[in-house]
Amino acid sequence: MQITIIGTGYVGIVAAVCLAKLGHNVTAMDRESVIQSLQSNKAHVWEPGLQELLTECNEEGNLHFDADMASATANADALLIAVGTPTRADGHTDLSQIENVLEQLKQSGNCPPLVIVKSTVPVGTCDELEANLHGAGLRADVVFNPEFLRQGSAINDFMYPDRIVFGCQSRHSEIMLRQIYQGIDAPIQVCDRRSAELIKYASNTFLAMKISFANMMADLCEGYGADIRQVMKGVGTDRRIGPHFLQAGVGYGGSCFSKDLQSLLTSGKVIGRSLPLLEATAQINDQRIPQLVVKLISLWENPNGKRLGVLGISFKPNTNDVRDAPFLTLLKLCQHHRIDVHAYDPVVQQVAFEGVTVADSPYEMAAHSDAIILMTEWPQFVELDWVRMVQLMRQSILLDGRNVLSDEVVAQLMELDGVTYVPVGRPVEQSVEQRVY
């Protein structure tokens, strides 16, 4: 099948290479500078396995790139929209990029018979998009096919998903969608467009809610001297709940959870529905970094001029995405308190914001630091020589914002003079992991 994809961000480029891998003839469209990079076989986002699959598809010859709507859609059977839908200052979703695609389709006078919306959009958006296309004389079925990709494992999630959701209004569009996904073995749920649009929001906000629940319980554990790791293990082994997204830490970040939660809250207000559970989820998350900074400052007599080392800039491991990363909130608060920030990230080597020095290695970052905060749970951070790290520091204060250091490493550090270790939701003295027999 001939498929055109509009937008080559994290979702669009992964969809492009994966659909090409499935045997479709794919054309990806974006602005000229991005297209030139992709035509040169250079992935412009960092995702495990992406560069290799991009190279493979380019060599096979069934992945193409174009910056012009008319030529990109000329022979397409389906158009997949994967453009950004950020949140506006007023809480509503910014649909300007979707609207821009609509205008380009109108100007070209050509539209494939099937339009697949991958972008996360408010309920009813696909209905409006189809009505606008039909009003312009462009006969196309618009469907909503949400993505459930996790950055860092997006290719695997696309090829081996838990489920695939088709939000469509006709049997013909369902048949075409099944042809597109032929070769992927996963349960398929077919429903109306509005339900599919809400499935996407409900999925992301539920995951955010689990994270905030774990963080709320972590605060309680700190007050009672319990261990959040053991509490969440006991909760997560219940098959009705599951262990995923129950790790306490510095809070969620990235381009999805906060954005989608805010959009859903705003959508509820539009129709006069309050969503207090989501309000609490956001409030708990918003408190995580400020609480961490309060802990940090309490360990210093005066934060002014102190040097803070931060391990991890991206919002999660295995990605270079810094959008809405907890690190950014930390940086703003540090600037307010005149704290000098030095950071290290295995993938994020350059940043477009002021007030931070990016180090070439974690040991360079640690040198002369008055404290270190572990922000992102990159696996390589666990393998560091932590004795060397604290010996390089001016003050040996370590805040483990992700609870990733093993009990053995912590016990080793606590034997050194002057080391202060601050985990999340547990007392330091519980250094022996309890096991379930």
């932590």: which residue's tokens?
Answer: 386
339 and 366 share one domain: yes
What average pLDDT score do residues 66-81 get?
94
Distance CA 316, CA 310 (A): 14
Asked if 96 and 121 count as a contact pair (C-beta separation under 8 A), the reply is no
pLDDT above 70 for 436: no
Query: Do residues 182 and 289 both lie within one domain?
Result: no
State the pLDDT at residue 403: 96
pLDDT surpassing 70 at residue 429: no
Instruction: Pick the last residue of a domain from 160, 191, 222.
Output: 191
Q: Is 148 annotated as a binding residue?
A: no
30 is in an annotated binding site: yes
Rounded to two decimals, the pTM is 0.93
Asked if residue 213 and residue 164 are part of one domain, the reply reads no
Active-site residue identified among 126, 221, 256, 334? 256
Name the band, by pLDDT with cuts 50, 70 and 90, for residue 431.
very low
Q: Could you read off the pLDDT of 330-356 as tens digits, one per residue?
A: 999 999 999 999 999 999 987 778 889
State both tokens at 101.
Answer: 């695609």
Residue corresponding to tokens 């859903």: 264
Question: What confidence tier does 104 reach under pLDDT thresholds 50, 70, 90?
Answer: very high
User: What is the mean pLDDT of the segment spanning 224-238?
Assistant: 97
Q: Are 141 and 168 in contact (CB under 8 A)?
A: yes
Q: How confident is the model at residue 435 (pLDDT cuts 50, 70, 90)?
A: very low
End position of a domain, from candidates 174, 191, 208: 191
* pLDDT number for residue 301: 85
376 annotated ligand-binding residue: no
**pLDDT given at position 350:** 79
Q: According to the model, what pLDDT value does residue 358 have? A: 95
CB neighbours (10 Å) of residue 285?
23
- Alpha carbon 319 to its chain centroid, in Å, reads 9
400 labeled part of a ligand binding site: no
Which residues neighbour 119 within 8 Å (Cβ) at sequence distance 6 or greater? 7, 11, 81, 82, 83, 84, 85, 97, 98
The amino acid that residue 190 corresponds to is V
Assess whether 143 and 115 both reside in one domain: yes
Average pLDDT over residues 120-126: 97
208 is in an annotated binding site: no
Residue 247, annotated as binding a ligand: yes
- Token digits of residue 417: 């003079």
How many residues appear in the chain? Answer: 437
Is 245 part of any known ligand binding site? yes
Helix (H) or strand (E) holding 164: strand 164-167
> Is residue 433 predicted with pLDDT exceeding 50?
no
Residues 24 and 60 in one domain: yes
The residue out of 124, 156, 191 marking a domain boundary is 191
Q: pLDDT by residue (tens digit) across 124-177? A: 999 999 999 999 999 999 999 999 999 999 999 999 999 999 999 999 999 999
Cβ neighbour number for residue 380 with a 10 Å cutoff = 10
Task: State mean pLDDT over 295-322.
Answer: 94
SS3 66: strand
Cβ neighbours for 74, distance < 8 A, ≥ 6 positions apart: 110
- Both tokens of 114, joined, read 């099937």
Provide the pLDDT confidence category of residue 110 given band limits of 50, 70 and 90.
confident
Q: Is 334 among the catalytic positions?
A: no
Count of structural domains, the chain: 2
* Residue 348 lies in domain: 192-436
32 and 60 assigned to the same domain: yes
| Same-domain check for residues 139 and 165 | yes
Residues 49 and 27 in one domain: yes
User: Helices 50-60 and 10-21: crossing angle, nearest 10°?
Assistant: 50
Nearest-angstrom CA–CA distance, 82 and 144: 11
Cβ contact 315:353 at 8 Å: no
CATH number, domain at 247? 3.40.50.720
